[in-house]
Amino acid sequence: MKGIWVLLLLILTAALPAFIAFFWLRSRKPALTLPWFLSSLAAGIISFIVAALIQGLFSPPKQGGLQAVFFSIFVRIAFVEEASRLVTLFPFLKAGKNRRQIDRAFGAALGLAAGLGFAIIESAYHGIADLNITLLRAFTAAPLHGACGIRAGAAVFIAGQYPKRAFVLFLSTVLIHGAYNLMIVSPAIPSALAILVALTALFSSLVYIKDVDMDN
């Protein structure tokens, strides 16, 4: 019974950034409604499961070797997780078209929620071993996945009209995600730098929610 309460505490702690994001998105015009937000959050959780299943198909990461490290960080982790997020966001494109909400900002807002949904489960999963990890990841993984989710969501919603821009946006999610992971695992890089990268990526990505003019 105690384990259940600990798990709930981990999930609630990891969900704090999502609560903040929801109220921020609700304050914007047009506001993102609760059903859209919760659906996107669920899509992020599903993308975590899909990514975990795919990553399980890879051979265990080899110890040592720069090539093996880069493959694990940028392909097995970053690319697989971002591709999974992209796939789970595509159903929202048709739903958004039916509601005539097909602009980039709408997709970016959905992507933010999906990224935070991914971060909730991932942070709780890692936090089972150490609650401090969950608290730390709230300041790193949540902004990181939020930033990548924004870019992935925007990419999905502009892919039909601007395929090259969509590809560049998706590629940026992989590179940002991989760079963050590289800083996390490298003992030579201060962990504070990873926090800076995550926050910088988030705030630089918010422009996709605020700016809906694709011609500028």
186 CA to centre of own chain = 21
Statement: residue 204 has pLDDT above 50: yes
Burial group, residue 210, by CB count within 10 angstroms (0-12, 13-18, 19+): exposed
- Please write the tens of the pLDDT for every residue from 175-196: 999 999 888 878 777 777 888 8
- Please write the tens of the pLDDT for every residue from 37-80: 999 999 999 999 999 999 999 876 666 677 888 899 999 999 99
215 lies in a domain?
no
175 lies in a domain?
yes
Residue 5 has what pLDDT? 67
130 DSSP 8-state letter: -
Statement: residue 111 has pLDDT above 50: yes
198 lies in a domain?
yes
74 CA to centre of own chain = 15
216 lies in a domain?
no
Q: Which residue range forms the structural domain that includes residue 66?
A: 2-210
164-176 burial, b at 16+ Cβ within 10 Å, e below that, comes to eebeebbebbbeb
129 lies in a domain?
yes
Residue 1 has what pLDDT? 46
183 lies in a domain?
yes
The number of distinct structural domains making up the chain is 1
Residue 212 has what pLDDT? 46
